Chain A
Amino acid sequence: MQLLNAQTLARLSGVKLRARAVMEGVLSGLHKSPHQGQSVEFSEHKEYAPGDELRHLDWKAFGKFDKFYIKRFEHETNLRAVMLIDASASMGYSSGGLSKLEVAKVLAGTLAYLLVRQQDAAGLAVTHGSSCSDLPPRSAAGHLTTLLETLEGLSPQGTTDLAAAADHLAEKVTRRSLLCVFSDLFDDRPDGLRRLLQLRARKNDLAVFHLVDPSELSFPFDDPTLFLSMEDERRLEVNPREIKQSYLEELGAFLAESRKACAEADVDYELVRTDEPLDSVLLRFLARRQGRRR
């Protein structure tokens, strides 16, 4: 599988990924820093007024115009982004095309590529059940290769434990970062998503990519079916036609609840069907973030 297909990258090349909030960074980049004056990027001239720092006085301008002008600079920072991949067994479900995990890997890899390309730092966190592994954010080109190889090696296993992933990220991400969560959110624990959204309270920027298979959305089964759980031993023999209406109501309520929880926590929420074009998913996401920044 080619994670970063040329077509997708070509359509995303004109897009500037900008963080919504001002973040601390060491390296200058495309992202605006709240600390003016530390960058070498000239911004504008301002007529001197008492109190201004004399070290910013533009002597060349004084020589030309015989007036004092203060030079002002717009300092740029680096963005730190961490891609949290839910690699539980339910993410391996596929009704024909890409599985949810595969889609998550493509989306996370593409975003990491874009970030590193504009010299931002991209990291990776993977959750399998209660255990988590991570790759710290870096902006080096070599790091991107490592990150992509790690993504390539992921396989679905274990249960979904969003609370454990949230705890892990809270411990590891000490600086303000963009956290992109790729998951189907099928966590039987009632507070999993809520714990994850609490990371927003720690000044992190959070985006949730909710991955859903088309069959999970439409429940297109007719014949009596023995449904097997992908994460545990649960199983159920049922006539799908008899419960279809009820299932769709339950799932609709879950999706609505997830969207509402994200909105209340000021978190970007993107419902991703695994059969829709991924470039359009990313374009929609980036366009929304750019719009929010303005």
Chain B
Amino acid sequence: MTFANPWLLLGASAALVPLLVHLFDRRRPRPHPFGAISFVLRSQRRTASRLKLKRLILYCLRTLILLALPVALARPEWRREVGASASARGPAATSIVLDSSLSMRWSDGKSLFLRGREEAREALRDLLPEEPANVVLCGPLVSPPPPPTSDRAQLRAQLDEAEPSYGPSDLVRCMELGARSLEESPLPSKRLVVISDFTQGSLRLEAPPPTVAGPKGERIRPEVVLRDAARGEQALPNRAVVDLKVEPALQVGPRAFQFTFTVRNFSSEPVKDLEASLKVEGQVVAKGFLDISGGGTAQKSLTHRFDSGGLFTGEVSISADALAEDDRRAFVLNAPKELRALVVNGSPSTVRYRDEAFFVEAALTAPGSPLHAAVRDVDSAFREDFSSYQVVLLLNVPAPTKEQSERLGEYVRQGGSLFLSMGDNVAPETYNQRLGAVLPRRLRDVKTSVDPSELDAAARAAKLANFSSEHPVFTPFTGRAREGLMSSRFYRYVLLEAEAVQKGEIGAVLATLEDGAPAVAVAARGRGRVMLFTSTVDRDWGDFAIRTSFLPLMQRFCAFLAGSLDEREEHRPRVGETLSLRLPKEPEVERVASPSGGEVPLSSEPDGPVQVGPIAEPGVHTAFDSSGRPLAAFAAVLDPSESDLTRIRREELTQHFGEDTVRTAGGQGAERKAPFWTWLIVAAAAAFLLEGVLLRR
């Protein structure tokens, strides 16, 4: 125990006054002859034992009053052994680590961060004048602090400017940085003051406690003082949107999407009728309610159909609680624009299912498809204006004339897209001659893997051996969808050469058959794209057209060729992360704006993606070119681990740091623990009142 005003303890000698009065008070009582002395004697005998006890209690109370008051005025303070040894070692260089993670934004009227900042100021005030200090603001990005300084004004200003972040923090790392900075102080004693809410995500208890280099280079543990910004609250209730999936809702319409979000209740109390809403471009477009059990999760799906295609921003949210930042999650969505496709039927038939374009037309015009397909025979097709279509599909079309080929080439170079499928009408050599400028690769021969009329044709037919699952066309084909695609049989197909027909970039092979022959090849030609499917899209050369994977794959072929698959690529970086943004080289990204209007750091390598970040805020970020035109947008999300506000128990902290160093909050407020000396004053006042009562009895 230490005393702020130890000289006032001299006043405690007043506690001897009652004893001295008892010993030396020899006042002579007034003699009084009295007739009824018998009754006085009887009364005295009757009350003697009670009076003796009363006098003893009075003596104790008076001694307590005279002892408690001077001791209280001396302001005693309990100090643990650690503190005592530290003070015995003299002044200590101190590093104040202030947690500024997202969880510190939790507020019940006053945020944990504000409380933590008050704690930090108080810790600063408590330092001795000769103790240097520094401040480590512990957020997602933390840099090594400067050496401890005695400039208190600078440290106070640093605290005043500190703001909570939206990301997680690593207190272990911050303590290490603080401890390392203390090594630069010549003072032998070191101290770390850690101010945090001490939630599960803030401190890795499996990591060893921080150490500093001792006088002889050995590693010693500094004094660690933990200040609880949550002021001993056992639980910090919270619920959060921890996940969001946006998927097309084809059953509702071509541009309908289903927003499925997961809400987790991190408190033990169940939540009923929690309001959830979906906002698009600032307007609430759907609402719902959900119940969540204590500590459980719940999913809610809200659907919205967009009237037109384009880029949309919005958010899903639930009713705000004490940590409102994680009660919403933003998204950026590309609603598909309507695509016009010209299907050139190279082998029409009066029997519908024998028609070359039958399966393709069915796939492109299926419900929910953004494609509008126009099927034409060869003669009619080449009379059409190609520029009014985003994609032209040549299905088993005989090699076009030279003039037609030039039109097609010009169409592709100007940004149009071309899809070619093979068939009996395709003559490889003529194709190479007429369309060599646009073909991804030269056509070689037609290969027959097995005659379909043979009995074991199904078993011997060629199958897909591999496809580029990272390519946007094939990304959905995983699991059972992949198996369905891989089991397609190809009886006949066109082999491709290993090089392009003319000078130009060789096309990439996206899928190969079992013998290594390409099944799908793609190449960029000018501003357009060309895709080559080496078999037929009807049942003449295989059964791919009747496979379940045919419909989505044909839609994705067209979407990719039209460029809308690229737009659908979603980026959802977490706060604190850096995003690799793949954008066209022209125009160049000038800046990326955060939701609050600030600029996000940018860096780019030649021929590489643009590095955006580290991202500091959740919400929609927009990339602009030099003219201020938006190029792309993405939504940054919060780290769900910061939403879990389960507190680390005091015992665990004690066990981790080896000693009981946890100090409860020292700031102002009703929850602050009253110091010992106030209890002494209360005891003295109570003794005073009790003495008065006893004297009156």
B43 near A250: Cβ-Cβ < 8 Å: yes
The digit string for B32-74, where 1 denotes a CB below 8 A from any CB of A, is 1111111111111011000100100000000000000000000
A251 near B36: Cβ-Cβ < 8 Å: yes
Q: B29 an interface residue at 8 Å Cβ cutoff?
A: yes
Task: State in angstroms the CA–CA spacing of A91 and B31 once bound together.
Answer: 18
Give the contacts of A168-214 with B (CB-CB under 8 A). 184, 186, 188, 213
B47 near A242: Cβ-Cβ < 8 Å: yes
B29 near A242: Cβ-Cβ < 8 Å: no
State the Cβ distance, B628 to closest chain A Cβ, in Å: 94
Q: A227 an interface residue at 8 Å Cβ cutoff?
A: yes
Given A242-B51, A250-B42, residue A228 in contact with residue B35 (CB < 8 A): no
Q: A243 an interface residue at 8 Å Cβ cutoff?
A: yes
Measured between beta carbons, the chain A residues less than 8 angstroms from B383 are: none
Measured between beta carbons, the chain A residues less than 8 angstroms from B27 are: 224
B30 near A223: Cβ-Cβ < 8 Å: yes
The digit string for A208-249, where 1 denotes a CB below 8 A from any CB of B, is 000001001000010111111110001011100011001101
Measured between beta carbons, the chain B residues less than 8 angstroms from A242 are: 47, 51, 54
Contact of A254 among B28, B33, B39, B40 (CB under 8 A): B39
In order of increasing CB-CB distance, the 10 nearest A-B pairs are A93-B35, A246-B43, A90-B35, A224-B29, A247-B43, A243-B43, A226-B31, A226-B29, A250-B39, A228-B33
Measured between beta carbons, the chain B residues less than 8 angstroms from A184 are: 35
B44 near A251: Cβ-Cβ < 8 Å: no
Task: State in angstroms the CA–CA spacing of A172 and B15 once bound together.
Answer: 69
Measured between beta carbons, the chain A residues less than 8 angstroms from B31 are: 225-226, 228
A246 near B34: Cβ-Cβ < 8 Å: no
Q: A32 an interface residue at 8 Å Cβ cutoff?
A: no
Task: State in angstroms the CA–CA spacing of A248 and B29 once bound together.
Answer: 21
A227 near B40: Cβ-Cβ < 8 Å: yes
Given A225-B29, A246-B46, residue A234 in contact with residue B35 (CB < 8 A): no
Measured between beta carbons, the chain B residues less than 8 angstroms from A91 are: 35
- 8 additional A-B pairs beyond A228-B37, A250-B42, beta carbons within 8 Å, are A225-B32, A227-B33, A228-B33, A229-B37, A236-B40, A243-B43, A251-B36, A251-B39
Task: State in angstroms the CA–CA spacing of A251 and B35 once bound together.
Answer: 12
B36 near A237: Cβ-Cβ < 8 Å: no
The residue in chain A whose Cβ has the minimal distance to the Cβ of B32 is: A225
B37 near A100: Cβ-Cβ < 8 Å: no
B38 near A188: Cβ-Cβ < 8 Å: yes
The residue in chain A whose Cβ has the minimal distance to the Cβ of B695 is: A241
State the Cβ distance, A92 to closest chain B Cβ, in Å: 8
Contact of B47 among A188, A229, A243 (CB under 8 A): A243
Task: State in angstroms the CA–CA spacing of A223 and B28 once bound together.
Answer: 11
Interface size on A, residues (CB 8 A): 30
Task: State in angstroms the CA–CA spacing of A221 and B42 once bound together.
Answer: 17
Give the contacts of A248-286 with B (CB-CB under 8 A). 249-251, 254
Contact of B40 among A100, A188, A213, A247 (CB under 8 A): A247
Task: State in angstroms the CA–CA spacing of A91 and B38 once bound together.
Answer: 14
State the Cβ distance, A237 to closest chain B Cβ, in Å: 5
State the Cβ distance, B448 to closest chain A Cβ, in Å: 127
State the Cβ distance, B59 to closest chain A Cβ, in Å: 14
Give the contacts of B13-34 with A (CB-CB under 8 A). 27-34
In the complex, 25 of the A-B residue pairs with CB atoms within 8 angstroms, ordered by the A residue number, are A91-B35, A93-B35, A100-B35, A186-B35, A224-B27, A225-B29, A225-B30, A225-B31, A226-B28, A226-B32, A227-B32, A227-B34, A227-B37, A227-B40, A228-B31, A228-B34, A228-B37, A230-B37, A234-B41, A243-B40, A246-B47, A247-B40, A250-B43, A250-B46, A251-B36
Measured between beta carbons, the chain B residues less than 8 angstroms from A213 are: 35
The residue in chain A whose Cβ has the minimal distance to the Cβ of B54 is: A242
Task: State in angstroms the CA–CA spacing of A90 and B39 once bound together.
Answer: 13
Measured between beta carbons, the chain A residues less than 8 angstroms from B37 are: 227-230, 234, 236
State the Cβ distance, A96 to closest chain B Cβ, in Å: 13
B residues at A contact (CB < 8 Å): 27-44, 46-47, 51, 54
Contact of A186 among B28, B38, B51, B54 (CB under 8 A): B38
Task: State in angstroms the CA–CA spacing of A249 and B188 once bound together.
Answer: 76
A230 near B47: Cβ-Cβ < 8 Å: no
Measured between beta carbons, the chain A residues less than 8 angstroms from B44 are: 236, 238, 243, 246
Measured between beta carbons, the chain B residues less than 8 angstroms from A224 are: 27, 29-30
The residue in chain B whose Cβ has the minimal distance to the Cβ of A230 is: B33
Determine which residue in A91, A188, A226, A249 has the highest number of CB atoms from chain B within 10 A of its CB, and name it. Answer: A226
Contact of B36 among A216, A225, A228 (CB under 8 A): A216
Measured between beta carbons, the chain A residues less than 8 angstroms from B29 are: 223-226, 237
Measured between beta carbons, the chain A residues less than 8 angstroms from B54 are: 242
Measured between beta carbons, the chain A residues less than 8 angstroms from B41 are: 234, 236
Measured between beta carbons, the chain B residues less than 8 angstroms from A249 are: 43
Determine which residue in A91, A230, A236 has the highest number of CB atoms from chain B within 10 A of its CB, and name it. Answer: A236
A230 near B40: Cβ-Cβ < 8 Å: no
Task: State in angstroms the CA–CA spacing of A108 and B38 once bound together.
Answer: 27
The residue in chain A whose Cβ has the minimal distance to the Cβ of B31 is: A226
Determine which residue in B29, B34, B46 has the highest number of CB atoms from chain A within 10 A of its CB, and name it. Answer: B34
Task: State in angstroms the CA–CA spacing of A228 and B35 once bound together.
Answer: 8
The residue in chain A whose Cβ has the minimal distance to the Cβ of B36 is: A216
State the Cβ distance, B29 to closest chain A Cβ, in Å: 4
The residue in chain B whose Cβ has the minimal distance to the Cβ of A156 is: B35
Determine which residue in A100, A227, A254 has the highest number of CB atoms from chain B within 10 A of its CB, and name it. Answer: A227
State the Cβ distance, B47 to closest chain A Cβ, in Å: 5
Task: State in angstroms the CA–CA spacing of A234 and B35 once bound together.
Answer: 11
Contact of B30 among A93, A188, A226, A229 (CB under 8 A): A226
State the Cβ distance, B442 to closest chain A Cβ, in Å: 125
A93 near B40: Cβ-Cβ < 8 Å: no
Measured between beta carbons, the chain A residues less than 8 angstroms from B39 are: 247, 250-251, 254
State the Cβ distance, B36 to closest chain A Cβ, in Å: 5
Measured between beta carbons, the chain B residues less than 8 angstroms from A229 are: 33-34, 37
State the Cβ distance, B488 to closest chain A Cβ, in Å: 111
State the Cβ distance, B32 to closest chain A Cβ, in Å: 5
The residue in chain B whose Cβ has the minimal distance to the Cβ of A89 is: B35
Determine which residue in B28, B36, B54 has the highest number of CB atoms from chain A within 10 A of its CB, and name it. Answer: B36
Determine which residue in B27, B40, B47, B54 has the highest number of CB atoms from chain A within 10 A of its CB, and name it. Answer: B40
Task: State in angstroms the CA–CA spacing of A249 and B31 once bound together.
Answer: 23
B40 near A228: Cβ-Cβ < 8 Å: no
State the Cβ distance, A204 to closest chain B Cβ, in Å: 28
Measured between beta carbons, the chain B residues less than 8 angstroms from A254 are: 39
Task: State in angstroms the CA–CA spacing of A115 and B39 once bound together.
Answer: 37
Measured between beta carbons, the chain A residues less than 8 angstroms from B43 are: 243, 246-247, 249-250
State the Cβ distance, B18 to closest chain A Cβ, in Å: 16
State the Cβ distance, A273 to closest chain B Cβ, in Å: 14
